[in-house]
Structure 1
Amino acid sequence: MKIRTSIALLAAAAALSACVDFGGSRPPPAMRASVQPQTGVEGNWSDANGLISTFQAGTFTTHTTDSNSVLASGTYSMVSANLIEINMTSLVRKTQSKINCALISPSQLNCTSDAGKQFSLNRR
Structure 2
Amino acid sequence: MKPLMFATLLAAAATLAACQTSERANTYAPVAQQAPQGVEGSWVDANGLVSTFSAGKFATRTTDTNTTMATGTYLTQPGGLIEISLFSNISKSASKANCSLVTTRQLNCTSSSGAQFTLNRQG
AA at the equivalent of 1:114: S
Given candidates 57, 60, 63, the residue that maps to 1:59 is: 57
Question: RMSD of the TM alignment (CA)?
Answer: 1.4
Work out the CA distance in 2 between the residues paired with 1:33 and 1:83: 31
Unaligned residue ranges in structure 1 (runs of 5+)? 1-25
Counterparts of 1:74 and 1:117 in 2: how far apart (Å)? Answer: 18
Q: Which has the larger Rg? A: 1
Deviation track 1:79-101 (CA, whole Å, cap 9, x = no partner) reads: 12521000000011001011000
TM-score, normalised via structure 1 length? 0.76
Match of 2:102?
104
8 Å Cα contact 1:83-1:100 kept in structure 2: yes
What is the identity percentage for the equivalent residue pairs of Structure 1 and Structure 2? 49
Q: Does 1:116 align with 2:106?
A: no
What is the identity, as a one-letter code, of the residue corresponding to 1:32? Answer: P
1:29, distance to aligned residue in structure 2 (A): 1.0
- Tell me the TM-score normalized by structure 2: 0.77
Greater shift, 72-81 or 85-94, is seen at 72-81
1:98, 1:79 → 2: CA distance? 14
> Among 76, 82, 85, which residue is 2:83 paired with?
85
Residue aligning to 1:49: 47
Structure 1 segments of 4+ aligned residues over 4 angstroms from their partners:
none
Aligned-partner residue type, residue 118 of structure 2: S
Residue 31 of structure 1, CA deviation? 2.3
Residue 34 (structure 1) shift: 1.2
CA–CA separation in structure 2 for the residues paired with 1:80 and 1:41 = 14
Partner residue, 1:37: 35
